[in-house]
Structure 1
Amino acid sequence: MNVSELIKKGEGETLEFKRELNDSVYKTLSAFANTNGGILLLGVGDDGTIYGFSGDLDSLARSIRHNLGINPSIKVEEIDGNRVVII
């Protein structure tokens, strides 16, 4: 399933949208890691608006490893010129 289809589905138990990197990203990833997993789309607002993520992906991966001790799959899909990070 591609990112556009995920966004159309909307948020749910295993799908979260986060507009930007902040503490709630780590809380969501921690919750996913301690349950049955899930997908976090970084650069997408709660309403499905695509804002894009302009941060450094290596720094993001290091930050997640440092803060949570996990190595999640991190992919990027470009939609209308905006990078959406799939974690």
Structure 2
Amino acid sequence: PSVVFLNSEFIPMRLVTDFVSEFEPENWHRRGYLEARIPVSTAKGERWMLLFTREDDLEGQTVIETRRGPRKIPHVSTGEFGLILIEPR
């Protein structure tokens, strides 16, 4: 996905595209997933986060290293995402 951060008046403040993600392989307890971390700054007026998909996102792929060598993960038009808030210490 791509993300745009908006201020309290819904004016775009920042656009984030082309994420660098880490791959967590599946195991007996959970499915595999890609994880990306995006810092958010309320001090800079970022209030809302809008997730969307561009045509470039759909045409791309993520390449991971496995024990058997490189493996490509094609990007798809549907899926799921999770959001976790991690506050600085």
Fold match (TM-score > 0.5): no
Q: Give TM-score scaled by structure 2 length.
A: 0.30
Q: By percentage of residues, which structure has more helix?
A: 1
Q: By percentage of residues, which structure has more strand?
A: 2
Q: Give TM-score scaled by structure 1 length.
A: 0.31
Q: Which has the larger radius of gyration?
A: 2
